[in-house]
Amino acid sequence: MNITKQVITVSSIEKALKKYVPMTETAFYILLSLTGPRHGYGIIKHVEELSGGRIRLGSGTVYGTLTKMNKDGLITVFADEDRKTLYEISALGKKVMSVEITRLKELHRNAVTFEEDFL
């Protein structure tokens, strides 16, 4: 179990928000999958299940994104055992997701409001 506390500074939040918001669909679903510890293949299967099979992430995409997010502090390594690395979302990652979810709620609200204008 990883018990390392992450210190979040205002500048690290601003830097992460600038880099990740608006978020790609891949990044969104990967972070959404890491509310609990998961390894890469578990993320792939979870995203496929959440999206009803619409999104099938390749392993290169997942591990490339995980490496980038780990470097930027959005996720942490929860455990590294039996040749499987388990990741989980960090406090900084939760903050970035919170801002992205607020943005998506606004988009949804406006889409519903004006949907009939496009039918």
| pLDDT tens-place string over residues 59-117 | 999 999 999 999 999 999 999 888 899 999 999 999 999 999 999 999 999 999 999 99
Assigned token pair, 5: 């506390």
Q: Is 53 left (phi over 0), alpha (psi -120 to 50) or beta?
A: left
Percent of the chain surpassing pLDDT 70: 95
Please give the DSSP secondary-structure letter assigned to residue 117: G
pLDDT score, position 82: 81
pLDDT score, position 5: 62
What value does the mean pLDDT take over residues 13-40?
Answer: 96
